[in-house]
């Protein structure tokens, strides 16, 4: 018997809520798996999610979350890996373009923005998974979540370019070392997360840009092609992932 849409949504939201609350992912999967088996049996008897839990979805999520310890080790690992991955992307792109210089604003501001982004991401996911939110509001929240860090990064870059401050510049051997370190960090993060997405994005973001810069096109054409390459290649990749995920959902067998 296949689970109802209400139960599937509830289980998905419960998993997101617990992980966003800093709970251990393996323990979360075990709890969600046990609850899924229970819901399959109770739905055969015509019971709904609220009848099984005896609470509203939000109350049940809060109750389960309160009973589970916070996994500080995993939280620390995620923060470190996200910071390492983000800095590796920035350094890789700058090293390939030959501009490895960072003001004190950027060196201090980038980590603070990334940590703030992680905290806000967890808060938004907790809110969306535990409240009835329309698609329009959901898209608005995620757009703000994605847009604010970009604006802050642009602000830090502007400060670094227009306000006098101590600057770290890497050239020659320093640039080569930074390039190798960035590659190694991206590979390490990919191995830790058990996914190729970091490596693929590094190639899609920097590969076309590097080829365009080495071409014999006029500078104006290079700028246009560089501006188009990012949304075309990266956007195309995420569209491909989206289509594959939809096909997987469509062909997924019923829960028995």
Question: Could you list the mean pLDDT of each consecutive 10-residue stretch along the chain, which spans 256 residues?
Answer: 79 89 90 87 79 81 89 84 84 81 86 89 87 83 86 84 82 86 89 84 82 80 76 75 66 48
Give how far the C-alpha of residue 17 lies from the chain's centroid of Cα atoms, to the nearest Å.
15
Q: What is the distance between the alpha carbons of residues 243 and 241, in angstroms, rounded to a whole number?
A: 6
Handedness of CA 104, 107, 113, 116 (dihedral sign): negative
Q: What is the distance between the alpha carbons of residues 84 and 247, in angstroms, rounded to a whole number?
A: 33
pLDDT at 249: 52
What pTM, to 2 d.p., does this model score? Answer: 0.69
Which residues sit opposite 219 in a β-bridge? none
Residue 243 tokens, joined:
């289509």
pLDDT at 255: 43
pLDDT at 245: 66
pLDDT at 97: 77
Residue 10 tokens, joined:
């509830």
Among 246, 208, 214, 245, which Cα is nearest to 228's? 208
pLDDT at 106: 85
Alpha-carbon radius of gyration of the chain: 23
Q: How far is CA 29 from CA 15, 26, 79, 134, in A?
A: 7, 5, 21, 27
Q: What is the distance between the alpha carbons of residues 239 and 231, in angstroms, rounded to a whole number?
A: 11
pLDDT at 246: 63
Q: What is the distance between the alpha carbons of residues 94 and 178, in angstroms, rounded to a whole number?
A: 10
Pair 84, 188: CB distance under 8 Å: yes
Which stretches does DSSP call E strand in the chain? 101-103, 167-169
Pair 121, 19: CB distance under 8 Å: no
Pair 233, 208: CB distance under 8 Å: yes
Q: In the chain, where are the structural domains located? A: 5-70, 195-256
């Amino acid at each position: 018997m296949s689970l109802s849409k209400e139960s599937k949504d509830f289980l998905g939201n419960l998993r997101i809520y617990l992980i966003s609350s800093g709970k251990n992912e393996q323990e979360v999967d075990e709890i969600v798996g046990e609850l899924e088996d229970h819901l399959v049996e109770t739905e055969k008897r015509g019971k709904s999610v609220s009848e099984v839990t005896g609470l509203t979805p939000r109350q049940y999520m809060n109750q389960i979350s309160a009973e589970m310890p916070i996994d500080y080790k995993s939280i620390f690992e995620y923060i470190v890996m996200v910071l390492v991955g983000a800095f590796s992307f920035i350094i890789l792109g700058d090293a390939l373009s030959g501009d490895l210089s960072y003001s004190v604003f950027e060196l201090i501001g980038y980590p603070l923005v990334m940590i703030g982004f992680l905290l806000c991401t967890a808060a938004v996911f907790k809110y969306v998974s535990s409240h009835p939110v329309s698609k329009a509001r959901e898209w608005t929240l995620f757009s703000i979540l994605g847009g604010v860090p970009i604006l802050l990064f642009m602000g830090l870059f502007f400060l670094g370019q227009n306000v006098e401050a101590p600057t770290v510049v890497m050239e020659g051997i320093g640039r080569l070392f930074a390039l190798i370190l960035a590659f190694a960090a991206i590979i390490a993060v990919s191995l830790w997360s058990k996914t190729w997405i970091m490596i693929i994005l590094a190639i899609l973001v920097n590969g076309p840009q590097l080829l365009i810069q080495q071409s014999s096109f006029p500078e104006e054409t290079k700028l246009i092609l560089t501006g188009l390459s990012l949304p075309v290649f990266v956007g195309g990749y995420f569209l491909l992932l989206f289509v594959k995920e939809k096909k997987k959902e469509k062909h997924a067998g019923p829960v028995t």
